[in-house]
């Protein structure tokens, strides 16, 4: 089987990759780049956790510490989680799932990759002119007055925005115009619904971030007085602008995670998904509500009480579609024939961790509670439970799930399962104690802390080492499979969506030998 020509061996040489317009190759290139930046961002995380072993100087000074958490945040948010699932897995899978030969605009797709690379280079070059220490949120007036590479990092985020817009635009048009004959909207796999909703947010929120960052750059260079109070500007306006993008952006991060989990739960339960339409619509609902909740980041920024109450109420609304998904997934598993393969383990890890992350989000959306918890480690823990415990667990699950289709190889189930376990354990050890110390008042982003918090910080740091080791184990497991893994069958999971049922073991360049014609839904298992 593996002697067939496929998208990996059809063309050879560096240029055939660098100039490819094949969505599958572009997806792989994204995957490798994103994972590299994940390792870099993770390294920064381990360094800053190590620094926090003691309240005094451990390995770096206070300024370097501020730079470390800023770089960790900026790299993880802008270079890893936001592009993460859509640009890598989405690029690879979306046209295959729709029965299309490619995305609608293959050249724009390639351009988005190079814009991403350019953004990454600009972001990293800020390290050499003096690393940025504002936190990934770039709050004014600190960001307009501090020295260091603020302009470079902000420019990088601006450039990366274009990459995100191009990807989203491509996915929306592809979903509308390139579905195979018979592929109606309600026969699309739920992965597509999630990615489509994500793309809508990417298109509508990213331009607002772009203009905000542009204003910030002009504010720093020309001092136009939009955000800096000394010049007559309003720093809260920056927060409004920033969160108008960045709150929807966290749904850009989590919706694709939910999209992957919908596939995994159904396939590894071998059961038609429960409440297909509800899950589909809840993705759209989350995308819609995501634009109406940004003010909950500003409960203590001098926003009026009435506005605070409205934003708080709107924030609670998000829990409804999220809950709809959770319960539908649970109902899908009920009486299914569940197999605990590695992707399913990641999905179950997602379940457990995302539930905690989601519920603590409701605490933070409550005005009175937030006043106490604002800017503490409680927020840090909540955010990581959603973004790492949620999105990144799903991302890893998705990589393991589609790995046989991408590479034609099966990985070691033992090592896959072991790595999942290490990540889940390490993650909880790292972040659960952060809820506890946050609730007791440990502020986030502080270099030093009171003696009473030391034990929590030390537990958290040890957890972060386990967590890091878990992710490295997972990646080694995948890389080893390239050399030593068994050849995969065309549909190892008995899945029912087109990317498994209608392609070779490794898809050919144009995906399908014949145009697939769809006659039933994506979860009809037999």
Partner 1 sequence: MNTGNDQLFPLHSHFERPAQQIDAAKLGMWLFLATEVLLFGGLFVAYAVYHYLHPDLFKAAHHFLDVRLGGFNTVVLLFSSLTVVLAIHGAQQGKKQMVLWNLFLTLLCASTFLVVKYFEYKHKFHMGLLPGYYFTNAMLPNPDQAHIFFGIYFLMTGLHGVHVVIGMIVLGWLFYRTWNNEFNPQYYSPLEIGGLYWHLVDVIWIFLFPLLYLIR
Interface residues with partner 1 (CB under 8 A) are 100-102, 104-106, 108, 165, 169-170, 172-174, 176-178, 203-204, 206-208, 210-212, 214-215, 218-219, 222-226, 231-234, 237, 241, 510, 515
Query: What's the closest the beta carbon of residue 82 comes to partner 1, in angstroms?
Result: 16
Q: Which is nearer to partner 1, 168 or 408 (CB)?
A: 168
Q: Which is nearer to partner 1, 240 or 374 (CB)?
A: 240
Query: What's the closest the beta carbon of residue 204 comes to partner 1, in angstroms?
Result: 6
Q: CB-side exposure of 297: number of CA atoms within 13 Å? A: 22
- C-alpha 290/C-alpha 294 separation (Å) is 8
Residue 508 phi, psi (nearest 5): -75, 175
Q: 394 and 441 in contact (C-beta within 8 Å)? A: no
Q: Which is nearer to partner 1, 241 or 453 (CB)?
A: 241
Q: Which residue has the tokens 């203590």?
A: 300
Which uninterrupted H or E stretch holds 196? helix 190-222
Query: What's the closest the beta carbon of residue 246 comes to partner 1, in angstroms?
Result: 13
Query: What's the closest the beta carbon of residue 208 comes to partner 1, in angstroms?
Result: 5
- C-alpha 505/C-alpha 508 separation (Å) is 9
Q: Which is nearer to partner 1, 242 or 435 (CB)?
A: 242
Query: What's the closest the beta carbon of residue 50 comes to partner 1, in angstroms?
Result: 39
Query: What's the closest the beta carbon of residue 226 comes to partner 1, in angstroms?
Result: 6
Q: Which is nearer to partner 1, 11 or 445 (CB)?
A: 11
Which uninterrupted H or E stretch holds 24? helix 23-51
Residue burial 158-173, b: 16+ Cβ < 10 Å; e: rest? bbbbbbbbbbbbbbbe
What single string gives the DSSP state of each residue in 351-416?
Answer: HHHHHHHHHHHHHHHSHHHHHHHTTBHHHHHHHHHHIIIIIIHHHHHHHHHHHHHHHSBPPPHHHH
Q: Which is nearer to partner 1, 234 or 375 (CB)?
A: 234
Query: What's the closest the beta carbon of residue 395 comes to partner 1, in angstroms?
Result: 26
Q: DSSP alpha helices (H): ranges in 223-299?
A: 235-269, 276-289
Q: Which is nearer to partner 1, 23 or 457 (CB)?
A: 23
Q: Three-state SS for 448? A: coil
Q: Which is nearer to partner 1, 105 or 415 (CB)?
A: 105
∠ at Cα 253 (235, 269), nearest 5°?
Answer: 155
Residue burial 376-389, b: 16+ Cβ < 10 Å; e: rest? bbbbbbbbbbbbbb
Q: Which is nearer to partner 1, 218 or 450 (CB)?
A: 218
Query: What's the closest the beta carbon of residue 12 comes to partner 1, in angstroms?
Result: 21
User: In this structure, what token pair is assigned to residue 286?
Assistant: 């989350």
Q: Which is nearer to partner 1, 39 or 214 (CB)?
A: 214
Evaluate the omega torsion of the peptide bond into residue 141 and state whether it is cis, within 30 degrees of 0. yes
Query: What's the closest the beta carbon of residue 104 comes to partner 1, in angstroms?
Result: 5
List of residues 6+ apart from 178 with CB closer than 8 A: 95, 98, 100, 101, 103, 104
Query: What's the closest the beta carbon of residue 413 comes to partner 1, in angstroms?
Result: 36
141, exposed or middle or buried, with CB in 10 Å at 0-12, 13-18, 19+? middle
Q: List, in sequence order, every residue forming a beta bridge with 409; answer none if it has no partner.
A: 487
């Amino acid at each position: 089987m593996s002697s067939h020509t496929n998208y990996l061996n059809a063309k050879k040489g560096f240029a055939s990759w660098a100039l490819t317009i094949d969505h599958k190759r572009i997806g792989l290139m994204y995957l490798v780049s994103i994972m590299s930046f994940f390792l870099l961002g993770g390294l920064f995380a381990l360094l800053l956790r190590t620094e926090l072993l003691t309240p005094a100087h451990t390995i770096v000074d206070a300024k370097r510490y501020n730079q470390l958490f800023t770089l960790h945040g900026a790299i993880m948010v802008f270079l890893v989680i936001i592009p993460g699932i859509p640009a890598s897995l989405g690029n690879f899978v979306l046209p295959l799932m729709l029965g299309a030969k490619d995305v609608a605009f293959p050249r724009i797709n390639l351009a988005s990759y190079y814009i991403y690379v350019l953004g990454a280079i600009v972001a990293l070059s800020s390290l050499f002119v003096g690393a940025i220490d504002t936190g990934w949120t770039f709050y004014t007036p600190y960001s307009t007055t501090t020295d260091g590479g603020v302009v470079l990092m902000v420019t990088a985020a601006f450039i990366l925005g274009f990459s995100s817009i191009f990807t989203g635009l491509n996915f929306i048009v592809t979903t509308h115009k390139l579905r195979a004959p018979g592929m109606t909207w309600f026969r699309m796999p739920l992965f597509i619904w999630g990615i489509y909703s994500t793309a809508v947010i990417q298109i509508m929120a990213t331009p607002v971030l772009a203009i905000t960052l542009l204003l910030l750059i002009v504010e720093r260079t020309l001092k136009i007085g939009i955000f800096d109070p000394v010049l007559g500007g309003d720093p809260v306006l920056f927060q409004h602008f920033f969160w108008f993008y960045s709150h929807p952006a966290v749904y850009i991060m989590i919706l694709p995670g939910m999209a992957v989990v919908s596939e995994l739960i159904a396939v590894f339960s071998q059961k038609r998904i429960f409440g297909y339409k509800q899950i589909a619509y809840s993705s759209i609902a989350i995308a819609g509500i995501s634009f109406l909740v940004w003010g909950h980041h500003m409960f203590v920024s001098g926003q009026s009480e009435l506005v605070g109450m409205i934003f708080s109420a709107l924030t609670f609304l998000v829990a409804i579609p999220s809950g709809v998904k959770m319960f539908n997934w649970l109902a899908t598993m009920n009486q299914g024939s569940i197999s605990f393969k590695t992707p399913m383990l990641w999905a179950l890890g997602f379940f457990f961790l995302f539930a905690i992350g989601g519920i603590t989000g409701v605490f933070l959306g409550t005005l009175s509670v937030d006043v106490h918890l604002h800017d503490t480690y409680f927020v840090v823990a909540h955010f990581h439970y959603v973004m790492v415990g949620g999105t990144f667990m799903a991302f890893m699950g998705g990589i393991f799930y589609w790995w046989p289709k991408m590479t034609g190889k099966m990985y070691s189930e033992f090592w896959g399962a072991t790595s999942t376990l290490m990540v889940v354990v390490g993650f909880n050890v790292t972040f659960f104690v952060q809820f506890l110390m946050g609730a007791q008042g440990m502020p986030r982003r502080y270099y030093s802390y009171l003696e009473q918090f030391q034990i929590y910080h030390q537990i958290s740091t040890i957890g972060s080492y386990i967590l890091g080791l878990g992710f490295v184990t997972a990646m080694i497991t995948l890389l080893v499979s390239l050399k030593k893994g068994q050849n995969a069958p065309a549909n190892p999971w008995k899945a029912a969506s087109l990317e498994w049922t209608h392609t070779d073991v490794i898809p050919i360049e144009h995906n399908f030998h014949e145009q697939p014609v769809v006659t039933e839904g994506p979860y009809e298992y037999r």
